[in-house]
Chains A and B, each alone.
Chain A
Amino acid sequence: MTQPNTNQPHTPTITFRLLKPGLIGGRMQDLTLLIRIHPAPAPQRSGARLPLNLALVLDRSGSMSGEPLETAKQAIVAALRQLHPQDRVSVVSFDDTVRVEVPSGSVRDLDALIAQVLRIESGGNTALYDGWLEGATQVAGHLNQEGLNRVILLSDGQANAGLTDPAEIARRVAGLSERGVSTTTLGFGRHYDETLLLGMATAGDGNFEHIEAARSLPTFFESELQGLTRTSGRTVSLGLEPNPEYSTRVLEILNDLTQNSLGRYQLGNLVEGQPISVVVKLQLTAPAQSSTPLGVTRVRLAWTGLDGVRRKVRAQLDLPVLSPAEHGALPEDTEVVEATLLLTMAQRQRLAIAAMDQGDRAGATSYFSDVVGMAMSVPSPSAEMSTSLTESQDLQRLYEGGDDLLTRKRALSQSYNRSQSKPRKTE
């Protein structure tokens, strides 16, 4: 079921799929609804993408010394090479002090930029907030109302110098995001603070990535840039408007999404080629008969375009009323089955993390094994489900082996990626 696109440029398309596309007449019933949001292509100006305004903020604390820092520098160099001359970029590094390695400027003299990045050396503590603040200032100084303004921060450690309170840092990041500069965080290795970095990325309307191997750093920088160049909307919110006529109500939303005070859900940026899947369970009572399809719910999607204008689009789900026999004969949509299962697995992973945090090893073990069980229960798994199975088995082994630090980061990252429909990257 596809709702007609309103033909505005850069308007995403919303599609609905149901476990069974019909209602049973005269009954109260539960519905499983898969909402897919297909972002529009990114806007262009005279045939080229809109310019980026970036700060790359690099942790050069002592723990980064050696291969991690060298690889991170190479990753930044690779990222610089992908930029266009009209883009702006700055490079900031931090240990207990912050250094502006490259002040915000256009990418004209690439060789000089690269030389400056390669000179970065490792040092002492981790003044993560101060590093972010300087990177943010470099971006804000050249705020582009018709482009993307973003701080990309890479860290491998706990913030232990300057402001360190995760809630306060997230509040400040959110304040800046409201003013047009977003923040992405890349957590590297096994010792960074995943709660802080995930909180910053969520508050910052950017991405959070967990990276284990130094050699995969370039992949993550590259995909972040690719995502930015294909973005058509930011500060995206999804509202559910069930039809009160049939006492329709939302029982559950399977994705782990932050809600605003109007009950709308915060989604990630609209990136071309990266559809967002949200699974919702609804309950309603259908009348005994109806010659026309019933309007079950509306969905409202709002976003800020790259021109800074807030836009919204609504789509309505209409379903026919069927007899129990007709409804029974409908096959289940395997895509909805799989999307539901994948999100339920992500929910279990979050429960496992909560159990770990409470020191409940038995509980966490049982949740992790639930996830494996669910992935194995699929008779003919898709490629995505097969990958999820392998990942969940690896996670189970990692936890059994006693590597709690890495288990928690991986579980959090996998569950976050699933809730946000982030594409998988293989390390």
Chain B
Amino acid sequence: MSLVVAKKIDNYLQIVSDSKLTAEEQIYGNPFLFGTLKTIITSVNTCISFAGLVEKDGINYPKIAFEKIFDTESMPLTDILEILTDVQKQSKYETDFIVAHQNDDIIRLIKIQNGQLYEGYDTFWIGDIDGFNVFQTEFLNKSSDKDLTGEEKSSVMFDAFTQVINNATVKSVDGLLVSIFNKNGYFEYLEGINLDIHKKTTIKPKQSKAKSCLLGKQKMVPLV
């Protein structure tokens, strides 16, 4: 199922998505290695995300769409929307898409779901509703009562999605956290490092009789 959240923050756009690949009656291996990119930059000003049904009976629906879109250089947005709407219909409306498109300073965000095009909102999401509920709770908790800058909201969005991936109850959202933003007028993937470091230390008997204990420390460092 997966989850994709796209949000206009001030004058730019950020999209976050996971990489877990699931299909009916089949769960693929380690999502870090066997996942798929759910958000694909197709040109400097266009980015397409998908969630829902990926493959059934040997037919990979997003692949059908992307093969057509990559086949034509600088494909107009109307043609892209037509292809995605057609593929959505082929998937029996089980594969949903979000298209982000920038023309000069105008960013358009369009969702394709249930055979319809939706536009005019600053936030769209597709995929797992439980995952989105966790995301929304985390995002609102950390951003609602503070006067955050766009950069800080963007960081909160990233952290909220990290919580969804780490949440064991949201089984269909997992693997890599792929983030895209377009602050400089073109779409870019976000780079960085994610480290989970386990350190073992030994306590001498005089210091403590405790058999074991676990301490957690987490610090997010957004570097701009």
* Chains A and B bind each other: no
